Amino acid sequence: MAAGPIDEATLERLASSCGGGAEGWAFVRELIDTFLDEAPAQLAALRNAVEQSDSDQARLAAHTLKSNGANFGAVAFTEACRELEAASTRGELGGEAVALVDQAELEWERARDALGRVAGGTG
């Protein structure tokens, strides 16, 4: 069976680190809402940076998205962003990087939907 877009154990650990119980989950839901609000602009900035061959901006956007995705257990999204960060660090923003942005956007949609269910209280 394929893994889902979100590692639920990561979310459990995050909620526990935020105090656990209802209060911990309430805070996690707030964090998820912020991520869901901010990530689309960061993804757009990443795509633009890759298309403009701006390695520094691409690396920064990929790093931010990678870190945030990892915090919420968005494993495949995090991996695509990690690969983009590495490609940006190497200055390799050609066709492979564009394909990685496409992959990151696809994985973002999957993670966004799963995290939206969690933030809405159904996860």
Q: For residue 122, what pLDDT is reported?
A: 53
What are the DSSP calls for 24-37, one per residue? Answer: HHHHHHHHHHHHHH
- Model-level pTM? 0.91
Q: Which of 25, 4, 6 is nearest to 14 (CA)?
A: 25
Domain residue spans in the chain?
Answer: 8-14+21-119
pLDDT in tens, 5-48: 999 999 999 999 999 999 999 999 999 999 999 999 999 999 99
Q: For residue 108, what pLDDT is reported?
A: 97
Q: For residue 4, what pLDDT is reported?
A: 83
Q: For residue 37, what pLDDT is reported?
A: 96
Contact between 61 and 45 (Cβ < 8 Å): yes
How many angstroms separate the first and last alpha carbons of the chain?
19
pLDDT in tens, 64-89: 999 999 999 999 999 999 999 999 99
Instruction: Please determine, for residue 123, whether its predicted confidence score (pLDDT) is greater than 70.
Output: no
Query: Considering the domain 8-14+21-119, what is its CATH architecture?
Result: Up-down Bundle (1.20)
